[in-house]
Amino acid sequence: MRYPLLVFDWDGTLIDSAPTIVACIQAACRDLGLPVPDDARASHVIGLGLQDALAYAIPGLPLHDYGRMVERYRKHFLARDPEIPLFPGAEAMLAGLRDRGHTLAIATGKSRAGRARALDNTGLRHLFAASRCADQCASKPAPDMLCELIEELGTNAVDTLMIGDTVHDLQMAARAGVRAVAVSHGAHPRGDLVALAPLACLDNIDELTRWLAQNA
């Protein structure tokens, strides 16, 4: 076993939520009469903590409007959250990796409440040994989530692999000294991911499953 600890991003990696997140950011902006970011700008923030995401998606948003924007975004997202599907094959892949002996963890830009809701909605809680969220430590691309998971689970960077769909995931891994694999079915363009030199950039869960079986 090359990488005993496998750390997965959530949105856009295991669950097909990127289009919903983009639509909810845009809807919240329209509710408040704010400039509406295009799809590329809104999708770039996926994986970041909410404060960092808003600062990028809506440049110049006054601090006193953050609370209203968060409230509107959450209202739209919570209405859609229970219906967001896992990518086909994701549950079987995770169960197979766990049964093979890997320890699985999550590093996500969600809050702890959002992570708990997502795990309950999908029924995947039992597959993961630990997780880190954006309201627990510094958000991606800082290395803190990975460093804390490695310490909690008693392993090291060399034995850890990060799997994600954004440049934020790959940058976090590099800063933590962890190797990474990208999936291109999520939030960020394939070219942006490949430019950061992951071990591989896979197009879907089936490709990821095969790669992990052969290389992890």
Q: Which of 9, 52, 165, 169 is catalytic?
A: 9
- Cis previous bond, 4, omega within 30: no
Is 159 a catalytic site residue?
A: no
Neighbours of 10 (CB within 10 A): 24
Q: Which of 11, 52, 165, 169 is catalytic?
A: 11
φ, ψ (nearest 5 deg) of residue 109: -80, 0
Report the alpha-carbon distance of residue 127 to residue 123 in Å, rounded: 9
Is 192 a catalytic site residue?
A: no
Separation in Å, CA 54 to CA 72, 88, 176, 177, 214: 12, 30, 25, 28, 39
Report the catalytic residues: 9, 11
